Amino acid sequence: MVETAIHDIVIVGGGAAGLRAAIAATEIDPEASIALVSKVYPMRSHTVSAEGGAAAVAREDDSFEMHGYDTVKGSDFLGDQDAIRYFVEQAPRELTLLEHWGCPWSRNEDGTVATRAFGGMSTKRTWYAADKVGFHMLHALFQHSLRFENIARYDEHFATKLLVDDGTARGVAALDIRSGRVRVVLGRAVILATGGAGKIFPFTTNGNIKTGDGMALAYRAGVALKDMEFVQYHPTGLPGTGILITEATRGEGGHVINADGERFLATRDYGVGTKAELGPRDMISRAIIQEIEAGRGISGPYGEYVHLDLRHLGEAKIVARLPMVREIAKIYAGVDPVHEPIPIRPVVHYMMGGVDTDIGAATSLPGLYAAGEVAAVSINGSNRLGSNSLTECLVFGASAGHNALAFAKDSSAGSEDALRRQGEEEAARIEALRGKQTGGEKLSRIRADLHRAMESGCGVYRTGETMDATVRAVAELKERYADVALEDSSAVFNTELVAALEMGNMLDTAEAVAHSAASRNESRGAHTRRDAPSRDDQNFLYHTLCHFDPAGPRLSKADVTLGHWEPEERKY
Amino acid sequence: MGDDRRKKTFVISRFDPDRDDAPRAQSYEIAVEPDWKVLDALNYIKDEVDGTLSHRWSCRMAVCGSCGMMVDGEPRLTCKEAISDYGDTVEIAPLANFPIVRDLVIDSDGFMEKLKSVKPWIIRAKQLAAEEGPLRQSPAELEEFKQFSMCINCMLCYSACPVVANEPEFIGPAAIALGHRYSLDSRDEGAAERNEIFRGPGTVFSCSFANECSEVCPKHVDPAAAVNQAKLNAVVDWALRLILPRRGGE
Amino acid sequence: MARNAHPRAMAPAKPGSTRTAPPRLPDRFPLGGRYLAYTLFDWTGILYLLLGLLVLCAVWSLGSGESVWNALLERHRSAPYIGFHAIALVGVVFVGIRFFGFFPKAQPPRIGPLKPPPGPVILAALYALWIGVTVVLTIVLAGGARG
Mind telling me how many Å the CA of C23 is from chain A's nearest CA? 17
Q: How confident is the model at residue C146 (pLDDT cuts 50, 70, 90)?
A: low
Q: What is the pLDDT of residues B15-70, one digit of tens each?
A: 999 999 999 999 999 999 999 999 999 999 999 999 999 999 999 999 999 999 99
Across all residues in chain C, what is the average pLDDT?
89
Total residues found in chain B within this entry: 250
Residue C114 in contact with partner chain B when CB distance is under 8 A = no
DSSP state for residue C114 in the 8-state scheme: B
SS3 B5: coil
Residue A146 in contact with partner chain B when CB distance is under 8 A = yes
- Rounded CA gap, B138 and A109, in Å? 6
Specify the pairing of strand A375-376 against strand A225-226: unpaired
Helix (H) or strand (E) holding B223: helix B223-243
pLDDT given at position A359: 97
Sign of CA dihedral A53, A324, A277, A242: negative
> Any residues with CB less than 8 A from the CB of A274 and at least 6 apart, and which?
A572
Report whether A285 contacts A233 (CB < 8 A): yes
Mind telling me how many Å the CA of C14 is from chain A's nearest CA? 15
Tell me which chain C residues have a C-beta less than 8 angstroms from the C-beta of B225: 105-106
Ranges of residues in chain A whose predicted pLDDT is under 70: none
- Rounded CA gap, B15 and B207, in Å? 32
- Rounded CA gap, A343 and A203, in Å? 14
Which of A564, A419, A486, A410 lies closest to A8 in space, CA to CA? A410
Q: How confident is the model at residue B3 (pLDDT cuts 50, 70, 90)?
A: low
Active site residues of A: 234, 250
Which of A18, A448, A74, A70 lies closest to A230 in space, CA to CA? A74
SS3 A40: coil
Which of A283, A285, A247 lies closest to A390 in space, CA to CA? A247
Helix (H) or strand (E) holding B224: helix B223-243
Tell me which chain A residues have a C-beta less than 8 angstroms from the C-beta of B65: 43-44
Which of A135, A143, A116, A139 lies closest to A324 in space, CA to CA? A135
Report whether A436 contacts A484 (CB < 8 A): yes
Tell me which chain A residues have a C-beta less than 8 angstroms from the C-beta of C16: 178
> Any residues with CB less than 8 A from the CB of A572 and at least 6 apart, and which?
A120, A271, A272, A273, A274, A275, A279, A280, A283
Which of A548, A507, A422 lies closest to A159 in space, CA to CA? A422
Total residues found in chain A within this entry: 572
CA closest to B33 among chain A residues: A301
Amino acid identity for residue B113 in this structure: E
Which of B231, B149, B157 lies closest to B198 in space, CA to CA? B231
Preferred mutation among B102, B212, B221, B243 to probe C, highest tally of C CBs within 10 A = B212
- Rounded CA gap, B38 and B29, in Å? 14
- Rounded CA gap, A50 and A139, in Å? 12
- Rounded CA gap, A277 and A543, in Å? 29
Count other Cβ atoms within 10 Å, centred on residue B125. Answer: 9
Size of interface A-B (CB pairs under 8 A): 153
Q: How confident is the model at residue B248 (pLDDT cuts 50, 70, 90)?
A: very low
Residues of chain C by 3-state class (helix, strand, coil), percent to 5: 65, 5, 30
- Partner-chain contact B122 A102, CB within 8 Å: yes
Report whether A53 contacts A387 (CB < 8 A): yes
pLDDT given at position C110: 62
As a whole number of Å, the CA-based R_g of chain A is 22
**pLDDT above 90 for C144:** no
Q: Which chains touch A (3 or more CB pairs under 8 A)?
A: B, C
In A471-496, which positions are buried (b, 16+ CB within 10 angstroms) versus exposed (e)?
bebbbebbebbeebebbbebbbbbbb
- Rounded CA gap, B36 and B34, in Å? 6
Distances (CA, A) of A233 to A155, A211, A386, A522: 31, 17, 11, 18
Report whether A205 contacts A347 (CB < 8 A): yes
CA closest to A45 among chain B residues: B64
Question: Helix/strand/coil (H, E, C) string of C118-139?
Answer: CHHHHHHHHHHHHHHHHHHHHH
Distances (CA, A) of B191 to A100, B146, B249, B250: 17, 16, 12, 11
Mind telling me how many Å the CA of A451 is from chain B's nearest CA? 15
SS3 B37: strand
pTM: 0.96
* A166 Rama sector, left if φ>0, alpha if ψ -120 to 50, beta otherwise: left
CA closest to A333 among chain B residues: B35
Residue A135 in contact with partner chain B when CB distance is under 8 A = yes
As a whole number of Å, the CA-based R_g of chain B is 22
pLDDT given at position C2: 67
- Strands (DSSP E) found in A143-200: 151-155, 157-165, 168-176, 182-186, 189-192
DSSP string, A42-89: GGGSGGGG--S-EE---STT--HHHHHHHHHHHTTT-S-HHHHHHHHH
Q: What is the pLDDT of residues C12-48, one digit of tens each?
A: 999 999 999 999 999 999 999 999 999 999 999 999 9
Distances (CA, A) of B19 to A495, B22, B23, B101, B103: 17, 9, 10, 13, 12
- Partner-chain contact A106 B122, CB within 8 Å: no
DSSP state for residue A362 in the 8-state scheme: B
pLDDT given at position B246: 64
Report whether B225 contacts B214 (CB < 8 A): yes
Complex ipTM value: 0.96
Preferred mutation among A135, A176, A177, A434 to probe B, highest tally of B CBs within 10 A = A135
Measured CB to CB, residues of chain A less than 8 Å from chain C are 176, 178-179, 181, 492-493
Sign of CA dihedral C134, C136, C137, C138: positive
- Partner-chain contact C16 A492, CB within 8 Å: no
Q: Which chains touch B (3 or more CB pairs under 8 A)?
A: A, C
- Partner-chain contact B159 C26, CB within 8 Å: yes
Q: Which chains touch C (3 or more CB pairs under 8 A)?
A: A, B
Residue A93 in contact with partner chain B when CB distance is under 8 A = yes
Q: What is the pLDDT of residues A85-108, one digit of tens each?
A: 999 999 999 999 999 999 999 999
- Rounded CA gap, B21 and A459, in Å? 49
